[in-house]
Structure 1
């Protein structure tokens, strides 16, 4: 059994503006860095031995901050399969601008124009989880909200419509074994004033 610590990256300027980021490469905001620093002791308590990150800057910056809080900070490996799914023409737009299509997308019923279909996201994420579970654990993976939803969908059979978005940043903990995946914690968010 391998413990998988999925962390959604910290907030960016677009997170604060409630803009969809997708694969747009944006770094953390100052507030996002502070939030990651607040989450770091919670992650460190799990004593991850392997660190993997999405190639997007906001994930790599989050991974760097979290790894620096570990006693024996392992080197962070970048894995393209953990990148956020492309939202095509929707990147940079807000839910209000998208109207009812936003809710349909959140429910898994719609792919944004020019975006990555959910089935493709699930396929690459399934392979990434299997490879991460073969590493020396616990394994810290710094990734994105859409990827975390895909992991929960493929591993636990939870439909997108049943999942609240993961906070930025937050921790979701899974136990992965050959027979399946078990959820230990979802959306653990230590930032004051937010639920989790």
Structure 2
């Protein structure tokens, strides 16, 4: 068993502007750095064994701040936890995107489907959990993984059978989502909006 605490990266100027980032590499703004420190405070009091992050700068900087605040080693990179590729939708404001394609499930040229995002994220988390089990058997490790809203949404939909997140739910920057990875399955323990 591996405890996985997934954290959404801190705010960027594109988040503030309601612009779709996807894999466009946008850095944190000052509020985003505060989001990372707030997430670290919410994570305090638990012994973590490692921190992983998407390779995108906004997630990696969030992870670095969390690791520093918690006295952990520098974050490792996991490519499978990068944000959804939005293709022609990247850079558009949310309203423009929805006006053009109607919803988040409509195929967009050059974009990944939510299923593709879910599968690569699950594969990445399984690799992290396997490495954790090899290092720590029989003790359960606790790992922090900093990722993105689209990835978290796909994983929450998967573990809840499509009931989470509910319509209108916002996955806030810096939000914390605790999972258990065990025997090839992923189970949600709790979600915390910080």
Common fold, TM-score beyond 0.5? yes
TM-score where L is the length of structure 1: 0.86
Distance 1:159 1:114, change over 3 A: farther
Compute the displacement of 1:44 (Å).
2.6
| Range moving further from structure 2, 6-15 or 38-47 | 38-47
Determine whether 1:89 maps to 2:88.
yes
Q: Deviations over 1:73-130 (max 9, x none)?
A: 123110111100101111111122123556621xxx3132211122221221121121
Compute the displacement of 1:34 (Å).
1.2
Correspondent of 1:133 among 121, 129, 133: 129
**Which residue is equivalent to 2:190?**
185
CA contact (8 A) 1:101 1:110 kept: no
- Unaligned residue ranges in structure 1 (runs of 5+): 191-196
TM-score where L is the length of structure 2: 0.86
Distance 1:179 1:59, change over 3 A: closer
How far apart, in 2, do the equivalents of 1:17 and 1:115 lie? 21
What CA RMSD, in Å, does the superposition of the two structures yield over aligned residues?
A: 2.0
- Unaligned residue ranges in structure 2 (runs of 5+): none
Number of residue pairs matched by the alignment: 185
Equivalent position SS for 2:112: coil
Equivalent position SS for 1:138: strand
Q: Deviations over 1:4-63 (max 9, x none)?
A: 100000000001111111001011001111121122111232322111100000000000
**Which residue is equivalent to 1:69?**
69
Detail structure 1 runs of 4+ shifted over 6 Å in the superposition: none
